[in-house]
Amino acid sequence: MPFMKTLFALENTMDNLEGGTEVSSRHLAGLLRKRGIEIEEWTPFNRRKPIFWYTSILGQIYILIVLAWKLVKNRVQILHVQGKYLIPPAVILGKLLRILTVVTIRDYVVVCPIGLCLFERGVSLPRQGDSSIHSNHGFLFFFFHEVSSFLSIYHRQDNLIIRMIRYTFLIRGWVVMLWLRWWLKRADAVVSVSKYVHRVLDEYGVKSKVIYNTFNPVFASESNKVRPGRGRVGPLNTILFVGKPSYGKGYDLFRLLSCNKLFRDFRFVTIGGDNKLPYLVTLQKIKKATAVVVPSRWPEPFGRVVLEALMMGTPVVVTSSGGLIEIIEDGLTGISVEPTPVGLSSGLRKVIERNSEFRRNIRLHNPKLKEKFINVPVQKYLKLYQSLLGATLVS
């Protein structure tokens, strides 16, 4: 195997495990290091900043300068971009310094800045090869339909002045999206974290390889060392929601479940929003739960909490949205339902009634899970790195 000095470029440090990108990058870095890859992380501001810091002209220039110094000083061979707003400076420097650039895409900002075009009823993604593929997703559709829908869902209490300010920032988001996508297409390799993300990117002219997010078993063993503390959630009496409590994530549907008399013997607990917990503590809570519910309306790019639940041995109820259904074995390790109160109630009831069976199935499928979400992703990344380096050596 050729020597590979790889730099992971993130918007936040991998030590701050509050976001999915940082968690996924930390898992992947740990697994790649075990295979002999030298990986160093880099972030321009040492901690997460507001989006404007990354997307303004001055911000992009600053990132370009400090990243160039890092790449030259450390003689990096592969620049692996984990944060979407770092794509333009990274690709520019890759071309100038002849450094290979790999970009992992974990959301849809590069094709759909506020996401509504992907999950609103009646505006689903066109079929492959459709001649009118972009007709429903142009700027006019974005301005007159998506933005107004977004504001009515998330900011309906805003007055006129605040709404106009939000319109301005959302339009700016459209421009940023075009800028990110233009440079993304010029990266040496683009990775999608699910087949669904691959399909979305392909519809917008971005070619990518599918490599699933990973799970490093080290985190599971570390979570067992965490002391739960007072008032801890006991085993098998809790239904968990983990993530941002928003409309797109279906949080209101989760709250409706908690009011259902069928589940009055269970505690419905939210981890996220105002009740954030350290990552290892979250894994421990997941392990002790009866089930994890992921009621997303919007098509999840991957659904990292589903993988974490299965790796911790806990069955899941998920909606048939995006990459979620690529993780579970429907009817065996979890239940896939429509994002409706009736569908979620039916799915959760099955998981509760057959809880021991689902847990046994998860244990039996553990080797398959490890192969799919540990061994294969790492092998694919190694092969990708090697092929890119090999092509460079040949040229």
Q: Give domain status of residue 187, yes or no.
A: yes
In this predicted structure, the answer to whether residue 27 has a pLDDT above a threshold of 50 is yes
State the pairing for strand pair 291-294/238-242.
parallel
Say if residue 285 is in the same domain as residue 323.
yes
Amino acid at 60: Q
In this predicted structure, the answer to whether residue 227 has a pLDDT above a threshold of 90 is no
| Mean pLDDT, residues 303-320 | 96
Nearest to 263 by CA among 337, 360, 350, 339: 350
Say if residue 192 is in the same domain as residue 319.
no
**Dist. CA 90–CA 103, nearest whole Å:** 9
Print the domain residue range for 278.
Answer: 230-364
355 and 196 Cβ atoms separated by less than 8 Å = no
| Number of domains, the chain | 2
Nearest to 28 by CA among 42, 3, 43, 8: 8
Say if residue 207 is in the same domain as residue 238.
no
pLDDT over 90 for what percent of the chain?
A: 69
pLDDT over 70 for what percent of the chain?
A: 90
Say if residue 193 is in the same domain as residue 334.
no
| Mean pLDDT, residues 345-350 | 96
pLDDT at 216: 95
Q: Give domain status of residue 84, yes or no.
A: yes
pLDDT category of residue 151 using cuts at 50, 70 and 90: confident
**Dist. CA 152–CA 170, nearest whole Å:** 14
Say if residue 78 is in the same domain as residue 209.
yes
The structure tokens listed for 56 are 């303004």
pLDDT category of residue 283 using cuts at 50, 70 and 90: very high
pLDDT at 126: 38
Say if residue 290 is in the same domain as residue 335.
yes
In this predicted structure, the answer to whether residue 366 has a pLDDT above a threshold of 80 is yes
Helix-strand-coil percent breakdown of the chain, rounded to 5? Answer: 50, 15, 35
In this predicted structure, the answer to whether residue 3 has a pLDDT above a threshold of 60 is no
Say if residue 245 is in the same domain as residue 334.
yes
Q: Give domain status of residue 238, yes or no.
A: yes
102 and 187 Cβ atoms separated by less than 8 Å = yes
**Dist. CA 356–CA 66, nearest whole Å:** 53
The structure tokens listed for 273 are 């929003």
Q: What pLDDT, in 10s, does the model give residues 112-145?
A: 888 777 765 333 443 333 433 344 467 777 877 7
For residue 297, the cross-strand partners are none
**Dist. CA 94–CA 80, nearest whole Å:** 10
Say if residue 327 is in the same domain as residue 309.
yes
pLDDT at 351: 96
Say if residue 284 is in the same domain as residue 318.
yes
pLDDT at 235: 55
71 and 97 Cβ atoms separated by less than 8 Å = yes
pLDDT category of residue 357 using cuts at 50, 70 and 90: very high
pLDDT at 30: 95
pLDDT at 146: 80
Say if residue 108 is in the same domain as residue 181.
yes
In this predicted structure, the answer to whether residue 360 has a pLDDT above a threshold of 70 is yes
Q: H/E/C letters for each residue in 88-127?
A: HHHHHHHHHHCCEEEEEECCCCCCCCCCHHHHCCCCCCCC
The structure tokens listed for 41 are 């992380």
**Dist. CA 246–CA 368, nearest whole Å:** 32
Q: Give domain status of residue 50, yes or no.
A: yes
Q: Give domain status of residue 164, yes or no.
A: no
Q: Give domain status of residue 122, yes or no.
A: no
Say if residue 291 is in the same domain as residue 176.
no
Q: CATH number of the domain at 83, please.
A: 3.40.50.2000
Say if residue 358 is in the same domain as residue 386.
no
Q: Give domain status of residue 83, yes or no.
A: yes
**19 or 199: whose pLDDT is higher?**
199
Q: What pLDDT, in 10s, does the model give residues 233-277?
A: 445 689 999 999 998 899 999 999 999 999 999 999 999 988 889
Q: Give domain status of residue 21, yes or no.
A: yes
